[in-house]
């Protein structure tokens, strides 16, 4: 390699390192105060609860306590999923609602009967109901 090519390569490396340094300085100075102020919110599920019986095809209101939400919630978009025997299932009962609503209507899916179902309420965290029964 000629000395001229080596000189060009050295200048390119210098510019690259300088730009990389500037990038990291800007990234380090970025304001993250909004992210630091946010709180995880896991409101307790009130219904369904132990002793509840749902029948396939019916509609029910899943409800949760929204009496004391934090000011800055990380994720206000809710999702409710069905659990069986304390394991997540792929069944989404509701999606895309405001977590501060406190309730959402769902339709009971066609699943195997059992007394070990629960619903999982997601926003920026997950909280699940007590176990309840689904029958035909």
pLDDT band at 42, cuts 50/70/90?
confident
Return the bridge partners of 107, or none.
Answer: 59
Which is nearest to 47 in space by CA: 136, 110, 127, 135?
A: 127
Q: What is the mean pLDDT of residues 26-46?
A: 68
pLDDT top residue among 50 and 35: 50
Confidence of residue 49 (pLDDT cuts 50, 70, 90): very high
**How many angstroms separate the CA atoms of 65 and 63, rounded?**
7
pLDDT digits (tens, 9 = 90+) for 106-123: 999 999 999 999 999 998
Q: What is the mean pLDDT of residues 30-52?
A: 77
Q: What is the pLDDT of residue 75?
A: 86
Identify whether the C-beta of residue 107 lies closer than 8 Å to the C-beta of residue 133.
Answer: no
Tell me the pLDDT tens digit for each residue of 51-110. Answer: 999 999 999 999 999 998 888 888 889 999 999 999 999 999 999 999 999 999 999 999
Is residue 15 very low, low, confident or very high in pLDDT (cuts 50, 70, 90)? low
Residue 63's nearest CA partner among 80, 82, 50 is 80
**Is 132 in contact with 49 (CB distance < 8 Å)?**
yes
* Under 8 Å between Cβ of 93 and 115: no
């Amino acid at each position: 390699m000629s000395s001229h090519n080596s000189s060009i390569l050295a200048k390119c490396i210098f510019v690259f390192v300088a730009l990389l340094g500037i990038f990291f300085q800007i990234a380090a100075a970025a304001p993250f105060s909004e992210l630091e102020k946010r709180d995880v919110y896991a409101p307790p599920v009130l219904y369904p609860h132990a002793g509840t019986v749902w029948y396939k095809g019916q509609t029910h209101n899943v409800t949760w306590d929204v009496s004391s939400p934090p000011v800055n919630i990380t994720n206000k978009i809710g999702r409710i999923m069905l659990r069986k025997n304390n394991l997540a299932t792929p069944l989404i009962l509701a999606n895309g609602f405001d977590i501060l609503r406190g309730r959402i209507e769902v339709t009971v899916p066609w699943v195997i009967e059992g007394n070990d179902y629960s619903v999982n309420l997601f926003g920026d965290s997950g909280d699940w109901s007590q176990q309840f029964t689904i029958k035909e």
